Amino acid sequence: MKRIFVAIVLGICISSVNAATINLPPSKDATIFANGGVNGIGDLFAGTSGGLAPADERRTLISFDLSGIPSGAVITNTSLTLTILQARGTVTGSLHRLLQDWAEGDQAGAGLNGGQPSAAAGGNDVTWTVTGMGSNWTSAGADFVVSASDSAAVPLLGTVTFSGAGMEADAQGWVDASFGNFGWIITGPAILQNVRKFAGREALLGQPQLSVTYNAVPIPATAWLFGSALALLGWIRHKAV
């Protein structure tokens, strides 16, 4: 009888777990430039282009609001898809979890297709040296986890998707509040004429998209399961007397 009871409870628990997928646009994104300035509004860049490397390196910062995922959810899959608008050279992009918060600001990039930093960064603009939150990065070029959450070869056209266990761990930590949700930084090679331009969140088409799949047991269902289990256990004991 006890085995039957355990099987029933396990069956109820499994059936009550909700699997869901949420697709999110960025809450903020920006490009920072090694030679100063910012592109907080417009397309995103990763890699090196223009002048001498690594002086003209660019990096993309991107963040997502995960507050729509319920507390206690278990992340089972995480993927970030970017649309490639222009490309030079061969690029492997690396995605790393950021360690400080930052502000997108309101400056648009200058130069051809926004590929150069704005003429003057404001106090709320993230740059290669400052977070835009009234503080400096500890290390120039932003503070991030050294080991990549994922890396991918970025084609010349089309889209690229970053995914894997490292990104799942990042998203899980953000949902659990194990560490701050400051988003990711995408880096490319510090080699001249190796760069990618991606559509940013202001684009009409091809905006970045984060897809997160998770399992969650709703709180009301959890309470009902606990009460039902106690009642069923009491009934079994009563029958056994």
Instruction: Summarize the confidence of residues 201-215 as an average pLDDT.
Output: 97
Residue 238, Cβ density class (10 Å: 0-12 exposed, 13-18 middle, ≥19 buried): exposed
Residues 6+ away with beta carbon under 8 Å from 99: 143, 144, 145, 182
Whether 11 is in a domain gets the answer no
Residue 142 CA to residue 145 CA, distance in Å, equals 10
Position with higher pLDDT, 158 vs 121: 158
pLDDT of 127 > 50? The answer is: yes
Instruction: Summarize the confidence of residues 192-197 as an average pLDDT.
Output: 88
Residue 104: how many other CB atoms lie within 10 Å: 23
Domain that holds residue 110: 19-240
Whether 168 is in a domain gets the answer yes
Whether 112 is in a domain gets the answer yes
- CA distances (Å), 14 to each of 59, 134, 236, in order? 43, 48, 22
Determine the 3-state secondary structure of 182 from DSSP.
coil
Whether 4 is in a domain gets the answer no
Strand bridging mode 91-97 / 44-48: unpaired
DSSP for 15-68 reads HHPEEEEEEE--SEEEEEETTS-EE-BS-EEEEE-SSSTTTTEEEEEEE---TT
Instruction: Summarize the confidence of residues 137-165 as an average pLDDT.
Output: 97
List, in sequence order, the alpha helices (H) in the chain: 2-16, 165-176, 219-240
CA of residue 219 relative to chain centroid, distance: 26
Q: pLDDT at position 56, please?
A: 85
Residue 157: how many other CB atoms lie within 10 Å: 9
Q: pLDDT at position 125, please?
A: 94
Whether 81 is in a domain gets the answer yes
Q: pLDDT at position 239, please?
A: 53
Whether 100 is in a domain gets the answer yes
Q: Which among 172, 149, 201, 155 is positioned nearest to 41, based on CA atoms?
A: 201
Condensed to tens digits (0 to 9), the pLDDT of residues 24-61 reads 999 999 999 998 888 999 999 999 876 555 678 999 99
Q: How many CA atoms lie less than 13 Å away from 203 in the CB half-sphere?
A: 22
Q: pLDDT at position 18, please?
A: 83
Whether 44 is in a domain gets the answer yes
Give the total number of structural domains in the chain.
1
Q: pLDDT at position 149, please?
A: 98
Give me 15's structure tokens: 């059936």
Determine the 3-state secondary structure of 122 from DSSP.
coil
pLDDT of 8 > 50? The answer is: no
Q: pLDDT at position 54, please?
A: 60
